[in-house]
Amino acid sequence: MDYLGFAKEIVEKAGAGGAEAEVFINIGKETNIEISRGNVEKLSQSGSKGLGVRVIAEGGRVGYAYTSDFSPGGVERTWQGALAIAEAADPDPNRALPDPQPFDGEDLAIYDPAIAEMRAEEKIDFAKRIEKAALDYDARVIMTNRCIYFDNVTSVYLVNSRGFAGVYDRSVIGGYVFAIARDEKGINTNGIGVGAGTKKVEVNPETIGREAGARAVAQLDAVQVETQVGTVVLDPLVTAEFLAYLSAALTAESMQRKRSFLLDKMGQEVANDRVTILDNGRMPGGLASAPFDGEGVPTQVTRLIDEGVLQNVIYDTYSAKLDGASSTGNAQRGSHRSKPRLALSNFYLQPGNQSQEDIIAGVKKGLYVTSTMGAGVSPITGEYSVGASGTWIEDGKLTYPVKEATIASTMGDILKNIVAVGSDARVLPFFGAIIAPTIRIEGMTIGGK
């Protein structure tokens, strides 16, 4: 079926009365598999097909309706429903479709036909290999919890009444597992391994499993440390969590609502000059890369913090109009069921040139944090306090595992006290599409005994 032509027909009908109209169509397939003790506990393979119609009537009154019924009657009810909702909506002159802009046709390497062609048996084997690698890592790894394989292959079509029409395909494959280790002194359930990418060859199930096994074993026989102020080194998984919290303070919406600890600091130095943070919707192979965003605006690279200086925030069309700015191409859509919303694409801390080993070797005494827990973080106030576990560092060497610690500071102070950024950035799918390296932070409170 010519979905692009189909969308254009709907736009013409919905906009015939003078309203602006936009049609979003996504066609996709996804798989989720859970393995336990070598057996398939859950397997779901589903296809999705849907369209969403957004209309903007006079005065900026917005209506949105969606359907998975592509019959003539189902489609007509949908666009008419969007118009009816718009008629009852409150006006907002800042609501409008973006002006059409050409987008770069370069190959972003976000689609792999090999993922679409994988058979169910191959996907099950992928998940079993993750679990086996975790269990084989060490005899003390006794079992796994939530050994998961996932994939998604999607085609996106977007057309609006201002002349925009575009299409792209995207694929994602990945897996994760939690490993549980035990010895004569106790048990640890804290070992996670994860991997994801847009290409099949980028994700190795054995690497995921071994990471989980290593993390589980490393935390056996952990002890508490004395409360102190000192050096903290964050593993990339923990750096990703910090960046996820930080990202909420770097949107135009958070600034406009005065819900960011970085409010009124544009152009000021807010971090160490080693810190450069970007949002890049055009990153080749990025989990959130696309040629255009959910409104048809070309994606771009946006430097948010450049060598420590706050330079920008992310915008969609609406938030940009409020500030008299330009959209950064950050209108995202989870599916046809929702209107575009302001959100990150590939968000990352630019890697440095030190290995993780070199960063740790430079620490006289401190905590290497491999996992955190708790919710004592606020991107509004900048508060940061979380439970932590990891390994104690003495004279540049990892010594004994640490449990039941707390690391605390403010997000502002953390940014200013990042004195080393690793070269080991990795893609992590748990907090959106975040790319995070190891970082070293001075002057954090390490709570313990």
Strand bridging mode 228-234 / 365-377: parallel
First-to-last alpha carbon distance for the chain, in angstroms, is: 65
171 and 266 co-located in one domain: no
Q: How far apart are alpha carbons 75 and 73 in whole angstroms?
A: 6
**pLDDT greater than 90 at residue 430:** no
Pairing of strands 301-306, 277-280: antiparallel
Q: Are residues 211 and 240 in the same domain?
A: no
- The whole-number pLDDT of residue 54 equals 98
Same domain, residue pair 194 and 257: no
Is the pLDDT at 431 greater than 80? The verdict is: no
Mean pLDDT, residues 409-432? 94
Q: Average of pLDDT values for 23-43?
A: 97
Of 350, 320, 335, the C-alpha closest to 251 is 320
Task: Check whether residue 201 and residue 250 sit in a common domain.
Answer: no
Mean pLDDT of 96-124: 94
State mean pLDDT over 429-445: 92
DSSP3 helix / strand / coil % (the chain, rounded to 5): 25, 40, 35
Q: Report residue 358 CA to chain centroid gap.
A: 28
pLDDT at residue 199 tops 90: yes
The CB density around residue 142, as the number of other CB atoms within 10 Å, is 14
User: Is the separation of the CB atoms in 347 and 385 below 8 Å?
Assistant: no
pLDDT tens column, 380-404: 999 999 999 999 999 999 999 999 9
Among 125-134, 366-375, 411-420, whose mean pLDDT is lowest? 366-375
| Average pLDDT of the chain to the nearest whole number | 96
d(CA 7, CA 109) in angstroms, rounded, equals 25
188, 218, 248 - which closes a domain: 218
pLDDT for position 365: 97
- Count structural domains, the chain: 2
Per-residue pLDDT band at 334 (split at 50, 70, 90): confident
Residue 223 near residue 402 (C-beta atoms within 8 A): yes
Indicate whether 190 and 282 sit together in one domain: no
Q: What six digits make up the tokens of 251?
A: 């949107």
- 108, 186 contact by CB (below 8 A): no
Burial label, 123 (beta-carbon count in 10 A; 0-12, 13-18, 19+): buried
Q: Which of 218, 233, 251 is the last residue of a domain?
A: 218
What is the average per-residue pLDDT within 75-92? 97
Residues 233 and 210 in one domain: no
168 and 199 share one domain: yes
Percent of residues, the chain, with pLDDT higher than 70: 100
In this prediction, residue 102 has a pLDDT band, given cuts at 50, 70 and 90, of confident
With 80 as the cut, is the pLDDT of residue 266 above it? Answer: yes
CA distance 327 to 192: 37
Q: Are residues 261 and 359 in the same domain?
A: yes
Domain C-terminal end among 199, 218, 237: 218
**Confidence band for 432, pLDDT divided at 50, 70 and 90:** confident
Q: How far apart are CA 259 and CA 380, in angstroms?
A: 5
Q: 255: domain range?
A: 222-449
The single residue listed with the structure tokens 């990795």 is 426
CATH value at residue 27: 3.30.2290.10
- One domain, residues 96 and 84: yes
Q: Average pLDDT, stretch 284-293?
A: 96
| 382 in the same domain as 250 | yes
Residue 127 · residue 205 · CB < 8 Å: yes
Is pLDDT of 189 > 80?
Answer: no
Residue 197's closest CA among 426, 437, 32, 355?
A: 426
Query: 230 and 212 in one domain?
Result: no
Do 159 and 165 form a contact (C-beta atoms < 8 A)?
yes
Q: What three-state secondary structure class fits 445? A: strand
Quick one: average pLDDT of 12-20? 96
Q: Given pLDDT bands bounded at 50, 70 and 90, which one contains residue 230?
A: very high
What are 348-382's pLDDT values in tens digits? 999 999 999 999 999 999 999 999 998 799 999 99
Per-residue confidence (pLDDT) for residue 136, from 0 to 100: 98
Give the model's pLDDT for residue 103.
Answer: 81
Q: Residue 218: what pLDDT?
A: 95
Percent of the chain with pLDDT over 90: 95
**Residue 150's pLDDT is what?**
98
Q: Are strands 20-36 and 141-160 parallel, antiparallel or unpaired?
A: antiparallel
Q: How far apart are CA 100 and CA 321, in angstroms?
A: 15
Identify whether the C-beta of residue 209 lies closer than 8 Å to the C-beta of residue 342: no
Which residues, at least 6 apart from 144, have a Cβ–Cβ distance to it below 8 Å?
35, 36, 131, 134, 135, 177, 178, 179, 180, 212
CA–CA dist 306, 304 (Å, integer):
6
Angle between helices 3-14 and 72-88 (to 10 degrees): 40
Same domain, 171 and 242: no
* Residue-wise pLDDT tens digits, 297-330: 999 999 999 999 999 999 999 999 999 999 999 9
Q: Which of 366, 408, 370, 363 is nearest to 389 (CA)?
A: 370
pLDDT higher than threshold 90 for residue 254? yes
pLDDT higher than threshold 90 for residue 190? no
